[in-house]
Amino acid sequence: MIWQYSPYFIPFLTCGCITLILAATGWRNRSYVGAKSFALLMLAVALWSFGAALEVASADLATQMLAVTLQYPGIVTVPVAWLLFSFEYSGREHWITPHNLFLLFVVPVISFVLVATNPLHHLFYSSVSEQVVGSLVYADISYGPFFWFNVVYAYLIIYIAIMIILQRFVFASGLYRGQMMAILIAVLIPFFVNIAYAVRQIHGIVIDPTPLAFLISGFAVLIGMVRYQLLDITPMAQDQVLANMSDGMIVLDVQNRITSLNAPAERILGLPLKKAVGVPVETLFPCPAQEAVFPVTSDLRAEQIHEMEREIGGRQCYFELRCNPILSRENEVKGRIIMIRDITSQKIAENALALARKKINLLSSITRHDILNQVTVLLLNIDTFKDTAEDPAIRELIRVQENAVENIRHQIEFARDYETLGAKAPQWMSVSEIFGHLLSIMGTYSITFIPLMEDIEVFADPLLERVFYNLVDNSIQHGGHVTTISIRYEKTPEGITILYEDNGVGVSPEIKKKIFDRGFGTHTGLGLFLAREILEITGLSISETGVPGIGVRFEIRVPEGQYRIRS
């Protein structure tokens, strides 16, 4: 061996050491996505760099060709490592199978064998001679046909890797876009440097700077790891995510024709993707109220929700369909997405619960009816006995018994009301209409009513009317001298507050918070408790903030989105 000092020796040696460290870093983080292929890539570059350092440091042709032979395992591995990295990063790791790895490494292995045995066939190098540049001696290699075949193969693999990363880059944003920018810099710089070297090689340029370009690649990936969490957080492949969804997904164009659907949707529809594309979706949903799911005249930007029954495999299944628009950047409807969720288990549980509740309600209704009949008999007997009793002590005892029986009757009626609490779905209810039903009660007690200037509709439990009835009844029973009841509202940052006020005696400060407790009060102590329970079903709340001696002031707070103000 004859040695020479070359200015390229230290850069190549440094590049080999740094990429070897990067390979070790990738291997230590091999649990991350793409870390193993990155380690393989850096190891290949390190082998290439150390071989290049040996090549430029030797002055005899035999040692230089030995160095070239030692470089080629790294040279031919680099393109494959890039492709494997792109597979892993883009979520296509399922493509990395033993069969595919064998196919990918066939040409690299053949290339290395041909390089090692080139003196026997000259397929990789047609000729090799010494070339003196200044005081340095380099190997002047004329390449054979298989060299160019290997070059085309390597460039094709790198091109595929670039296209895979670019495909993800176009649809990425934020963190992932930074990651992919680092990867593209890492792959494109050595790619173009190598192309430039291959072209200049024809004109006699003999130093291949590609390993030095890979040093930039390593640092680009390292920056991506530090700043953009590259190899730590990676984007999931969209097709893989859609295929593994438990919900069905159907993509429609503006004419309601299917353009795509995932595997669960194929199972639900009983139709494969190839046959479903282009089919009007209405023909695949033989269910009533199709206009609710596929509206023609309504706002296409609004979410549509509908339930559908379908028999699959001899089993009746229930599905919830949610249809949402696909909007362009100009906010134009370009199509729609239908998400199909299997709610069979939920529906079965709901039906079973409804049936059980129906039976319990029937039993309660019969029992309550029988008890009330007996209470009525008791009250009639007490009333009759009261008229015949002359002893004041006996009359007082009868009065206590009568009050106890009346309380029993009120409590049974409360149980009836509480039983229906939340049984029906919330709905929009007019406050003015509710008080319209209560005018006759207030008129009986000569109470003047001051109504709302604007009608308010509240989205609440249908028992909302019972809430205002209890407030009016509370004013009549406990207000003392109530002559006026008013209803108005105030807007707040959280929504609105409905204010119910009277001009009675009000509520003393020490019992303001207790009046909504179950059993508190001089009567049954259940009216205001029930009112609070009814309101809380839909997120409304109530409190009393009146001034004692001036009147009560009940504040019902209605959140944003649960009220509508109408003229």
Domain final residue pick, 363, 389, 419: 419
Provide the residue range defining the domain that includes 179: 9-236
Asked whether residue 442 falls in the same domain as residue 325, the answer is: no
160 near 83, Cβ under 8 Å? yes
Quote the pLDDT of residue 502.
94
CB atoms within 10 A of CB 238: 12
The CATH number assigned to the domain holding 324 equals 3.30.450.20
More confident residue, 521 or 336: 336
In this prediction, residue 374 has a pLDDT band, given cuts at 50, 70 and 90, of confident
Domain final residue pick, 321, 342, 363: 342
Asked whether residue 229 falls in the same domain as residue 99, the answer is: yes
Mean pLDDT across 391-417: 75
Which residue from 532, 563, 553, 544 is spatially nearest to 460, judged by alpha carbons? 563
Separation of alpha carbons 468 and 463, rounded Å = 9
Percent of the chain's residues with pLDDT above 70: 84
In this prediction, residue 102 has a pLDDT band, given cuts at 50, 70 and 90, of very high
In this prediction, residue 430 has a pLDDT band, given cuts at 50, 70 and 90, of very high
More confident residue, 277 or 177: 277
Which residue from 431, 427, 435 is spatially nearest to 456, judged by alpha carbons? 431
Separation of alpha carbons 5 and 476, rounded Å = 109
Quote the pLDDT of residue 202.
43
Considering the domain boundaries, does residue 2 fall inside one?
Answer: no
Asked whether residue 219 falls in the same domain as residue 289, the answer is: no
Distance between start and end Cα atoms, the chain: 101
Tell me the pLDDT tens digit for each residue of 386-398: 777 778 888 788 8
- Tell me the pTM: 0.48
More confident residue, 171 or 192: 192
Considering the domain boundaries, does residue 279 fall inside one?
Answer: yes
Mean pLDDT across 46-64: 87
255 Cα distance to chain centroid: 27
Whether the predicted pLDDT of 114 surpasses 90: yes
Percent of the chain's residues with pLDDT above 90: 18
Considering the domain boundaries, does residue 161 fall inside one?
Answer: yes
Instruction: State how many domains the chain has.
Output: 4
Burial of 145 (0-12, 13-18, 19+ CB in 10 A): exposed
228 near 179, Cβ under 8 Å? yes
**484-492/448-450 β-pairing:** parallel
Considering the domain boundaries, does residue 3 fall inside one?
Answer: no
Whether the predicted pLDDT of 204 surpasses 50: no
Which H, E and C letters describe 328-352, residue by residue? Answer: CCCCCEEEEEEEEEECHHHHHHHHH
Asked whether residue 414 falls in the same domain as residue 433, the answer is: no
Considering the domain boundaries, does residue 4 fall inside one?
Answer: no
Residue 429 phi/psi, 5° resolution?
A: -130, 135
Residue 475 phi/psi, 5° resolution?
A: -65, -40
**304-312/258-261 β-pairing:** unpaired
Considering the domain boundaries, does residue 23 fall inside one?
Answer: yes
More confident residue, 15 or 359: 15
Least confident residue range of 58-72, 381-395, 468-482, 497-511: 381-395
Instruction: Report which DSSP code applies to 273.
Output: H
Considering the domain boundaries, does residue 110 fall inside one?
Answer: yes
Whether the predicted pLDDT of 234 surpasses 60: no
Structure tokens at 503: 């001009």
Which H, E and C letters describe 297-326, residue by residue? Answer: CCCCCCCEEEEEEEEECCEEEEEEEEEEEE
Average pLDDT of the chain, as a whole number: 80
User: To which H or E segment does residue 535 belong?
Assistant: helix 527-536
Contacts of 74 (CB under 8 A, 6+ apart): 43, 44, 45, 46, 47, 48, 49, 51
Mean pLDDT across 534-548: 89
Asked whether residue 283 falls in the same domain as residue 370, the answer is: no
Domain final residue pick, 374, 400, 419: 419
Tell me the pLDDT tens digit for each residue of 60-73: 888 888 988 999 99
Asked whether residue 88 falls in the same domain as residue 224, the answer is: yes
Asked whether residue 48 falls in the same domain as residue 180, the answer is: yes
The CATH number assigned to the domain holding 551 equals 3.30.565.10
Considering the domain boundaries, does residue 297 fall inside one?
Answer: yes
86 near 41, Cβ under 8 Å? no
Asked whether residue 290 falls in the same domain as residue 146, the answer is: no
The CATH number assigned to the domain holding 108 equals 1.20.1070
Asked whether residue 443 falls in the same domain as residue 503, the answer is: yes
User: To which H or E segment does residue 64 belong?
Assistant: helix 61-89
Structure tokens at 349: 């549980």
Asked whether residue 367 falls in the same domain as residue 254, the answer is: no
Where are the extended beta strands (E) located within 475-528?
484-492, 495-502
Per the listing, tokens 């040696």 go with 13
Helix residue ranges per DSSP H, 130-174: 145-171
Asked whether residue 49 falls in the same domain as residue 184, the answer is: yes
Tell me the pLDDT tens digit for each residue of 341-362: 888 888 888 888 777 767 766 6
Whether the predicted pLDDT of 297 surpasses 50: no
Asked whether residue 154 falls in the same domain as residue 188, the answer is: yes
Which residue from 402, 381, 566 is spatially nearest to 489, judged by alpha carbons? 566
Quote the pLDDT of residue 296.
43
